[in-house]
Structure 1
Amino acid sequence: MTQVLHIVGGGMAGSEAAWQAAEAGVDVVIHEMRPTVGTFAHQTGNLAEMVCSNSFRSDDDEQNAVGLLHWEMRAANGLIMTTADAHRLPAGGALAVDRDPFAESVTAKLHAHPRVSVTDEEVTTLPDGGQWIFATGPLTSPALGEAIRSETGAEALAFFDAIAPIVYAESIDMSKAWMQSRYDKGETEEERTAYLNCPMDRDQYEAFIDALLSADKTEFHEGETAGYFDGCLPIEVMAERGRETLRHGPMKPVGLTNPHAPDVKPHAVVQLRRDNALGTLFNIVGFQTKMKYGAQTDVFRMIPGLENASFARLGGIHRNTFINSPTLLDAQMRLKSKPNIRFAGQITGVEGYVESAAMGLLAGRLAAAEILGRDLPDVPQDSAMGALIHHITGGAEAKTFQPMNVNFGLFRPVDGLKGGRRGRKDRYKAYTDRAKAEWQTWLDHC
């Protein structure tokens, strides 16, 4: 009788792992504690619910590492990417999705798969027998977190994630705001107008920064240190690093022309991105925050065009737990002290929806191969998948290990290519060409 694969956590990684293993011919049980046990950030019991953003970031598979990861997941019949493509929203050169239909579709596909079953129970121990994948993500329950700490003999590392607010479109003043993607990027008119822009002059920007810095913030428990992943910093933390930081980050005014005042260059611009297919909800791009709710409404209504904004969701902050994977996991993503257990997703120290799903894809395939007695070739290090798994299972320095997005800095150099900014385009294209060839060869032998 074929062994069952148990997957703990039904987020991006767990859902993708389940799909890959089931498609390989393995029976799978997904243990997802929601909705029986809720979390701070989730709103439903759906699998693959998107919490912090609706964006999978750049879809450019020739000049961007995360776009390359998109390509590799599509080539591997990835459930997350296939579903994301089916629920895509205009976002210029990025891939953004209609989050609720996306999660509903992933949930329906997994429930309909004849080899997948889903149970809403909380797993609080690391089993000694059977084949397991733990993909519990940043909101691993306290009981399971304690079990992981007890098994590994080390404190789980932790940092904090912040969530951006969502605004009702009907409450935005379009006499001040306008629709445009930076540099009019996109092949269609819909893509070229994928973002809603709110301009600020210098005085408005300075007043906004003052308000950010003085606003009431969420306080942490005694003895708890707030460490943030640099790709998801709260805006007030960015502002504390310098008054111009936001203007050169999420509020940069470049590549945009205000049709209400085409001869006036904004000092800063706040961008909002469509959050659902109906266009009734917009999230404020890059505006993760730890401000208290009352302060958020006061500060965000200082933004021109959002003076009367109504919020479908305010921002928030939550603890994000991950393990020291370079120390604890082998090259097959198995826990060295309990090889019947694999870890996948954000808990392994990758950051982002795409990276989490990618590690779920690999864990699902590796576990299925082990259960079925098949030998898989090593994941090619020169692919985006390989660069990530190599980083978390030994390529990173264990003493300073921190969550990491996929990036070309994780890739081995291509022989014969010079460095420098002028050669970057050719270098990135060489990375992606090599990665696609290596990844396709690996898939052909799986």
Structure 2
Amino acid sequence: MEPLHIIGGGMAGSEAAWQAAQAGVPVVLHEMRPQVATFAHRTGDFAEMVCSNSFRSDDDERNAVGLLHWEMRAAGGLIMEMATQHRLPAGGALAVDRDPFAAAVTERLKSHPLISTSYEEVTELPSSGHWIIATGPLTSARLAESIRAATGAEALAFFDAIAPIVYAESVDMSVAWMQSRYDKGETAEEQTAYMNCPMDKAQYEAFIDAILAAEKTEFHEGETAGYFDGCLPIEVMAERGRETLRFGPMKPVGLTNPHNPVKPYAVVQLRRDNKLGTLYNIVGFQTKMKYGAQTAVFKMIPGLENASFARLGGIHRNTFINSPTLLDEQMRLRSRPNIRFAGQITGVEGYVESAAMGLLAGRMAAAEMRGGVVPPPPPDTAMGALITHITGGADAKTFQPMNVNFGLFPPIDAKGGRKGRKDRYKAYTDRAKMAFAAWLS
């Protein structure tokens, strides 16, 4: 059998390769790293986590992304298996030790007898063979231009920002304290999932002033600042109103400062970033401030006055296609049906969503190559809601990257009266699990 070629070894490409190989189809996984570097990646490993080490909520009963975790596990997903093996304490979230996680994904893929790897940059859309393009938000310029030329449509783009990472030993724990929001952590280890740095009103106001005044990265000519709302730089949030951060990533609710009985006006949370507990990322603090400005501004945070940074924040261009106009329900390019797209380049946002679309693309391609068809999952499942959104459910004129959320699902029939939010979300997940199990079988 001829092989399935997959371009890109990120979350989507890795999951697509695994699913296709598990279905008995030989795979060639093409990855340009480390021969061709990106500003955001540090290694040549597959499934390297760049922006964050979190797969977000693992609650599969009342959370849409937790439901997506459940569906991927039910489908034998490699990304979820490795994430679970390398998880870190994070309250109700699924956070992972990013380097061992990526190394484990790489080892599993390279040891699979039906998967071979090719390290080079693919610069042109192929005219023959079976292909999945899973190049993610950092698609190389030459391949992006080939996609644009083939589709006749301009690639859409927004800017995605990276949060800084702090060395834990440099945090002043006489000011900061360990606690998960609402005390969701149960064990002593889980209580080290988050550090909290409190601010009073005067400190918060001075911090906002500093963010607004800080020197920012400029955009290149022809680029536009079309940010994805789920990953806004903190300075963009601050520009929307002085209280925006205090009701967003700096909200003080659910936290009690053991050093001071006075409730903090705002709180900066840092989430554990590795198993050793030596690194913590500043939650929700994606930024386009220049490096010197970042160091000065972040050291204004109580407890971080002497902080050392393992990585400062950054910003990069995130490219995606207008999937509702370009892809069919099998994720194939309508003008070239031998090519599928998967992952963030299709207009889903987030590690989990990207891997889920890779899972579907890999299964669909493998089935087609073996003479069969895998229909899309029902739209009342998490995967089904996402693929429905990107292949026709969204308005092509206003199409923007989207996280999985219950707003993408068909409404629940609230028999016997309107359900409360928690009951409604539980009804969504119960219905989805039944539908997904039926689809799998």
The question of a shared fold, defined as TM-score above 0.5 by the shorter chain, is answered with yes
Aligned mates of 2:358, 2:87 — CA distance in 1: 21
Aligned mates of 1:432, 1:390 — CA distance in 2: 17
- Residue of structure 1 aligned with 2:426, choices 426, 429, 438: 429
Q: Secondary structure at the match of 1:332?
A: coil
What residue is the counterpart of 1:399 in the other structure? Answer: 397
Deviations 1:209-249 (A, max 9, x none): 00000000000012321110000000010000000000000
Q: Counterparts in 2 of 1:44-443, with a 5 A limit?
A: 44-261=43-260, 263-417=261-415, 423-443=420-440
- Return the letter of the residue paired with 2:70: W
Q: Secondary structure at the match of 1:257?
A: coil
Contact 2:160 2:317 in 1 (8 A): yes
Aligned mates of 1:418, 1:9 — CA distance in 2: 49
Aligned mates of 2:71, 2:79 — CA distance in 1: 12
Structure 2 regions of 5+ residues with no counterpart? Answer: none
Contact 1:163 1:316 in 2 (8 A): yes
Change (3 A) 1:358 1:120: same
Deviations 1:64-110 (A, max 9, x none): 00000000000011000000000000110000000000000000100
Aligned mates of 2:19, 2:222 — CA distance in 1: 41
Aligned mates of 2:231, 2:198 — CA distance in 1: 23
What residue is the counterpart of 2:35 in the other structure? Answer: 36
What residue is the counterpart of 2:9 in the other structure? Answer: 10
- Return the letter of the residue paired with 2:348: V
Contact 2:160 2:228 in 1 (8 A): yes
Aligned mates of 2:376, 2:239 — CA distance in 1: 45
Contact 1:20 1:364 in 2 (8 A): yes
Aligned mates of 2:204, 2:420 — CA distance in 1: 36
Deviation at 1:419, TM superposition (A): 8.3
Aligned mates of 2:341, 2:137 — CA distance in 1: 13
Deviation at 1:310, TM superposition (A): 0.4
Contact 2:376 2:387 in 1 (8 A): no
- Number of matched residues? 441
Change (3 A) 1:418 1:68: farther
Deviations 1:151-205 (A, max 9, x none): 1101000000000000001111011000000110133332244210000011100
Aligned mates of 1:161, 1:30 — CA distance in 2: 26
Change (3 A) 1:427 1:28: same
Q: How big is the alpha-carbon RMSD for the aligned residues of Structure 1 and Structure 2?
A: 1.1
Contact 1:55 1:95 in 2 (8 A): yes
- Return the letter of the residue paired with 2:31: E
Aligned mates of 1:331, 1:375 — CA distance in 2: 12
Deviation at 1:418, TM superposition (A): 7.7
Deviation at 1:417, TM superposition (A): 4.6
- Return the letter of the residue paired with 1:301: K
Contact 2:175 2:259 in 1 (8 A): yes
**Percent identity for Structure 1 against Structure 2:** 80
Aligned mates of 1:275, 1:257 — CA distance in 2: 22
Deviations 1:14-33 (A, max 9, x none): 00000000000000000000
Q: Secondary structure at the match of 1:271?
A: strand
Q: Secondary structure at the match of 1:189?
A: coil
TM-score by length of structure 2 reads 0.99
Aligned mates of 2:416, 2:199 — CA distance in 1: 41
- Return the letter of the residue paired with 1:112: S
The farther-off stretch of 364-373 and 193-202 is 193-202
- Return the letter of the residue paired with 2:89: P
Contact 2:330 2:375 in 1 (8 A): no
- Return the letter of the residue paired with 2:363: R
Aligned mates of 1:58, 1:154 — CA distance in 2: 35
Q: Secondary structure at the match of 1:6?
A: strand
